[in-house]
Amino acid sequence: MKMINSKKGLLGSEFVLWFFRFLIIILIVASVTFMVFAVQRKNYDVRDSEAVLISENIMDCITKEGEITSESLDNFQECINANEEEIYIQMEVFNATIGIKKAEFGRKELKIYCEMLGDVKQRYPPSCLKQMYIINFDDGFKQTAYLNMSIAIASFEKNV
Amino acid sequence: MNTRISPFHDKRGFEKLFQFVIYLVIVIMILLGLLKFINNYSSGEAVKEQILAKQIALAIDAAKPGTEIVITKGKFLVSVNNKEVNARAKEERQGYTYPFFTQNRIETEQKEGILNIKIS
């Protein structure tokens, strides 16, 4: 009681009171700003739709008169205008006669990230798509084959 | 003897009132600034730019040659080059740019509030 009654003590208690008043305001402003930024930073993820469209575009592009040739399979990357660093596409054509014929494009490690998706929690997971088609494959000899297409899209900066 | 003390006659009381008014003014100014900041962000120009650019890019990717896409863009400024779509809410903004992957030829035509995209 004696301290508060003295001039120095009074000044000290006033200072503490003002300090906490401003601290509360600063905390409110900081938390609101943080929340607004946290909500704003979320991107609208379109990679799943993009992967489906890429798959359709590639199939339309490499199929000539209902057939896929060995040459068109090897040059499938010419069908899309994609950044090599942001995407990985793997095509596997297989049947009992030809075995497996592969063609790929882009950043290989994205495929590994896709395989780890269920097991490891990733901060920036890629978007992954696997599709299987039954095709007429012309490798000098026309035959029916399966085509497995795997697509992984990174593009984290714009979508995550 | 009349001993009524008003804050204006009592020096200490006047100081307290003055401090409180200053504090109140500062708090109101900060809260108004905060409201303006939230309002700017929640009007969502940045989000709308992003959604518009991405949806146009997806529409271009999904379109087959011979398709014509007509977009009512309203006040937004949309530009499409051979690789990217850019959407801006205002002239002075940088806007949002999103790439598309189709190899088809793109031609655009701007009319008031409408953007025509021809894919060939």
Contact (CB<8Å) B47/A40: yes
A vs B, Cβ pairs < 8 A, gives: 58
DSSP string, B54-112: HHHHHHHHHPPTT-EEEEE-TT-EEEE-SSEEEEESSTTS--EEEE----S-EEEEEET
Count CB neighbours of A27 within 10 A: 10
Test the B interface: residue of A28, A55, A59, A81 with most B CBs within 10 Å: A81
pLDDT given for residue B7 in this prediction: 54
Structure token pair of residue A24: 């509360």
Instruction: Pick B41's closest partner by Cβ from A28, A36, A81.
Output: A36
Is the model more confident about B36 or about B7? Answer: B36
A78, β-bridge pairs: none
Check CB contact under 8 Å for B58 and A53.
Answer: yes
User: Which pLDDT does position A1 carry in this prediction?
Assistant: 46
pLDDT of residue A15: 83
Q: Looking at the complex, does the CB of residue B58 fall below 8 Å from at least one CB of chain A? A: yes
Q: Which of B34, B42, B102 sits opposite A81 (nearest CB)?
A: B102
Strands A63-64 and B84-88: unpaired
Tokens (6 digits) for A70: 């060995």
Q: What does the pLDDT read at residue B81?
A: 87
Average pLDDT score over residue span A126-141:
93
Mean pLDDT of B101-110: 91
- Taking an 8 Å cut-off on Cβ atoms, the answer to whether B58 and A49 are in contact is yes
Burial code of A37-62, b = ≥16 C-beta within 10 A, e = fewer? eeeeeebebbbeebbbbbbebbbebb
CB contacts of B99 in chain A (<8 Å) are 81, 83
Whether A40 and B58 lie within 8 Å, measured CB to CB? no
Mutate to test the interface with A, among B61, B67, B81, B105 (most CBs of A within 10 A): B61
The distance in angstroms from the start CA to the end CA of chain B is 99
Mutate to test the interface with A, among B30, B54, B81, B106 (most CBs of A within 10 A): B54
Q: Percent of chain B at pLDDT above 90?
A: 49
Mean pLDDT of the residues in chain B? 87
ipTM of the complex: 0.77
Residue B11 reports pLDDT greater than 90: no
Element (H, E) at A28: helix A7-41
Count Cβ atoms within 10 A of the Cβ of residue A8 and give its class: 0-12 exposed, 13-18 middle, 19 or more buried.
exposed
- The residue in chain A having the minimum alpha-carbon distance to the alpha carbon of residue B56 is A46
